[in-house]
Chain A
Amino acid sequence: MSVVEMSKLTFIGLQEDKLAITEELMKIGLIEVDESYEIPGEMEGLLKSINNTEEIIEIDRNLEKLETVLSKLSAYDKRKKSLFSSRRTVTAKEYEDIRNRSSSLMRVVDFILEAEKSNSQYSSEINRLRNSINNLLPWRELGIPWEVDRTKHTCIIKGVMPSENDFDEVRRILYASVKESCIELLHDDGEQKYMLLIIHADFESKALEIMKKFNFSRVTYKELTGTTADNINRINVKIKELELKQQQEARKVIVDHVRYISELEMLYDSFRIIKEREEAIKKLRGTSRIFILRGWLPSKAAEKVKTAMTSTYTCIFELEKPGEDEQFPVLLDNKGLAESVEMVTEMYSLPDPREIDPNAVMAPFFVLFFGLMLSDAGYGLILALSSGFILWKFRLEKSQKKFLKLMFYCGLATVFWGSLFGSWFGNLVYTVSYGKYSINPLWFDPVAEPEKLLTWSLAFGVVHIYVGIAVKAANLIRQKKYVDAVFDALFWYILFTGAIFSVLSYVPGINTENIEGLGEIGKYLLIVGAVLLILTQGRSKKNPVSKFFSGIGSLYDLVSFMSDVLSYSRLLALGLATSVIGSIINQMGAMMGLNNLFGIFVFALVFVFGHVFNFLINALGAYVHSSRLQYIEFFGKFYKGGGKAFTPLKINTKYTIIENDKEDYLNE
């Protein structure tokens, strides 16, 4: 139910056992290797770090190759995939087998990469040819073979000019000065005009002189023979040939090797494990005979790990408690509801190792606020049933499991609030029965009495914030700062409570008769609280004047408290939006009437699409706004955060799960 206590580990083993020990530790998966060493003075110079950069680079190269090949092969992969992709389980023996065959498998990889290389060469050649067709297309009207550029008396010029020139104008000017010429517009692509010019050989230079004024430039393709159409046909034939070759030579290799995909996936994972191992080894120090590993492991598993290690290897396994102010990596250990909201907290920040893990306190608020904002029992039912079904039917990764569990609890909370408010898919029963029946709310209908729910929303907010202040007090008491707990929690309670009592009579929907006298009490509490805070909040300052002013300044927190409380009105607004939109969808669906087949069909269509949309947008809103209420209004009161996650040395694979015969030392 909290941050797991960690012990500092110093492990000394023999160099010859190094590989076996690091692999063993990876299987146990409970030790984070620390790199920051304080080497005692007399040992300095004796302990050296281990240089295995070369090996790591080599592994990285192999991983990269495998990644490329796997992404190519996966396009042709025909294995059945589960909807929620989970990793396959392989036995340790299968895995060992792959490891032994790694060099022959890498040869397969290289072969596929070679094929892939020629595949892309074919592709680029085909692309080049396609481009040359595109260049020729504007000339397809040209019936004269490209190699013919003059006859006995004429010269034949192909060329382009910018499109802004008016062709008729150019032709008029040209014909006016060189009568013995013929100009023809072949194509205009908006940028350039493609033209054919035939001029009497004697006037060639004169005509070109004139054309130059219009930025005319000659186009020649020396390598082309025959007409444009001939050339395009020829290139098309060549493209067909190349495509066929590509299919037969390069693609075929890839398709033929798809059968290797599961082995290559295992190989990829085995390289990942080796990489992890080598990176851990890089953090070790050692002499020629022994090595030292320093790190962290959860205290409650420490003894078991120690027995397991010392019984198999010649080694020293020493444990220490972390120092008073020493930061240790944070591992959370929660059960049930608290565990499922861990990801919400992690999104914000992990707790500081020395503070209370907020998950258990936060979880019920998160789930209840989510439910209040989604607030439709029908939606809640669907959410709970579908996430429950997936949890039951599919094999999932740990993080997916956590999220679905959270959704399951949120769904239940939504059913709870939805039935209190009488909203089941909006007002479905009421609409379908033409107003004859309706599901009555167990508490009250927020659409009819929004003020009542507003008051309650703010009240939930006050409770939430008060709990936040209580956690702050608990943190201070844990650190044995009892006086601070009184000053920074109790005094604020007095002030805030006073403020709430004073404004209570202005809250809509509150019967002023019932709270007579509270306003008076509120005033006194407000004054007492303010005086106490002015006296104590500046205690860190030395100068009495600045003590006083920072005491006064702290009263500004009353304003932020008020705005924090008002922020909870979103509980009402989002909740109301869901049920009102739901009812609108039902009404719109029923517009065609429900006494004919067509009307029922329209209703079903509108019902399904409308409610799916409403559900999605409001569930997203509920999740995010519930998170926000935790992050800003709740965590803001006490949470320090900034913990560094516990990242133990462990087997970290992408495609497979290797059967682990190690028992779980942490939980049992």
Chain B
Amino acid sequence: MNNGILSAIITGDALAFLGAALGFLLAGCGSSKGVRIAGEAASGVVTEDPNKFVEVMILEALPSTQGIYGFVAAFMILGKIGGLSLEQGFILFLAGLPIGIVGLFSAIYQGRVAAASIGIVAKHSGEMVKGVILTLMVEVFAIFAILISILIIGRV
């Protein structure tokens, strides 16, 4: 391997780009899968009773927040780019990981809880808020993850 090329590629900025990309990539994948899981359950309920559309739609939307958090983290990292040192770049790369990885898993798991909560709505109309509360219990970990990501970004 040519050392010259390697050191040209691995710059602070490039590492930060990598962090931003990973942060959104993983969280976005997680959210899309989570929303898919909830969405399948939701369309099942709407087939039976179209009047429940709004209730199940709210539940379906819940696992999308991880993607948004990933987006926020990525945007904040991108805002730092421009002549970063190797160390700063590496820190920003690390900053992308918490929301990326926790977002990936929590979105999928949250999607499952959302799908189960859609089951609540299917049987008992008007119990939607309880389902939302149960679903948002999973959200907490994604919130902590974006918190940590933001705190790390703040250090650069």
Q: Is the CB of A577 within 8 A of B140?
A: no
In Å, the complex CA distance between A620 and B61 comes to 11
Q: Is the CB of A580 within 8 A of B75?
A: yes
Q: Which residues of B contact A451 (CB under 8 A)?
A: 151, 154
B91 interface residue, CB < 8 Å from A? no
In Å, the complex CA distance between A103 and B33 comes to 58
A85 interface residue, CB < 8 Å from B? no
A130 interface residue, CB < 8 Å from B? no
Q: Which residues of B contact A570 (CB under 8 A)?
A: 140, 143-144
B121 interface residue, CB < 8 Å from A? no
Interface digits, A554-595 against B, CB 8 Å rule (1 contact, 0 not)? 000000000000010110111011001100100000000000
A136 interface residue, CB < 8 Å from B? no
Q: Which residues of chain A (572-622) have a CB below 8 Å from chain B?
A: 572-574, 576-577, 580-581, 584, 617, 620-621
Interface digits, B40-84 against A, CB 8 Å rule (1 contact, 0 not)? 000000000000000000100100110011011001100000000
Q: Is the CB of A581 within 8 A of B68?
A: yes
Q: Which residues of A contact B146 (CB under 8 A)?
A: 573, 577
Q: Which of B14-22, B23-31, B109-117, B127-135 contacts A (4 or more CB under 8 A)?
A: B127-135
Q: Is the CB of A617 within 8 A of B68?
A: yes
Tell me the minimal C-beta distance from B95 to chain A in angstroms.
12
Give the contacting residue for A347; candidates B75, B129, B140; CB below 8 A.
B129
In Å, the complex CA distance between A624 and B61 comes to 14
Give the contacting residue for A620; candidates B58, B143, B150; CB below 8 A.
B58
Tell me the minimal C-beta distance from B106 to chain A in angstroms.
13
Give the contacting residue for B150; candidates A576, A581, A621, A624; CB below 8 A.
A576
In Å, the complex CA distance between A631 and B130 comes to 12
Q: Which residues of A contact B68 (CB under 8 A)?
A: 577, 581, 617
Q: Is the CB of B147 within 8 A of A572?
A: yes
Q: Is the CB of B140 within 8 A of A567?
A: yes
Q: Which residues of A contact B132 (CB under 8 A)?
A: 620, 624
Q: Is the CB of A624 within 8 A of B133?
A: yes
Q: Which residues of B contact A584 (CB under 8 A)?
A: 71-72, 75
Q: Which residues of B contact A620 (CB under 8 A)?
A: 58, 132
Q: Is the CB of A577 within 8 A of B154?
A: no
B136 interface residue, CB < 8 Å from A? yes
Is chain B's binding surface mostly helix, strand, loop or mixed? helix
Tell me the minimal C-beta distance from A324 to chain B in angstroms.
34
A277 interface residue, CB < 8 Å from B? no
Q: Which residues of chain A (621-639) have a CB below 8 Å from chain B?
A: 621, 624-625, 627-628, 631
Q: Which residues of A contact B140 (CB under 8 A)?
A: 567, 570
Q: Is the CB of B129 within 8 A of A569?
A: no
Q: Which residues of B contact A625 (CB under 8 A)?
A: 136
In Å, the complex CA distance between A624 and B133 comes to 6
In Å, the complex CA distance between A347 and B130 comes to 8
A450 interface residue, CB < 8 Å from B? yes
Tell me the minimal C-beta distance from B70 to chain A in angstroms.
11
Tell me the minimal C-beta distance from A610 to chain B in angstroms.
11
Tell me the minimal C-beta distance from A224 to chain B in angstroms.
36
Q: Which residues of A contact B137 (CB under 8 A)?
A: 628
Q: Which residues of B contact A572 (CB under 8 A)?
A: 147
Residue of A nearest to B147 (CB): A573
Tell me the minimal C-beta distance from B99 to chain A in angstroms.
11
Q: Which residues of A contact B71 (CB under 8 A)?
A: 581, 584
Give the interface of A toward B (CB within 8 A). Answer: 347, 450-451, 454, 567, 569-570, 572-574, 576-577, 580-581, 584, 617, 620-621, 624-625, 627-628, 631
Show 9 A/B contacts (Cβ-Cβ < 8 Å), sorted by A: A450-B154, A572-B147, A577-B68, A581-B72, A584-B71, A617-B65, A621-B139, A624-B132, A625-B136
Give the interface of B toward A (CB within 8 A). Answer: 58, 61, 64-65, 68-69, 71-72, 75-76, 129-130, 132-133, 136-137, 139-140, 143-144, 146-147, 150-151, 154
Closest 3 CB pairs of A and B: A573-B147, A573-B143, A624-B136
Given contacts A576-B147, A617-B65, A620-B132, 20 further A-B contacts (CB under 8 A): A347-B129, A450-B147, A451-B154, A570-B143, A570-B144, A573-B146, A576-B150, A577-B68, A581-B68, A581-B72, A617-B64, A617-B68, A621-B65, A621-B136, A624-B129, A624-B133, A624-B136, A627-B133, A628-B137, A631-B133
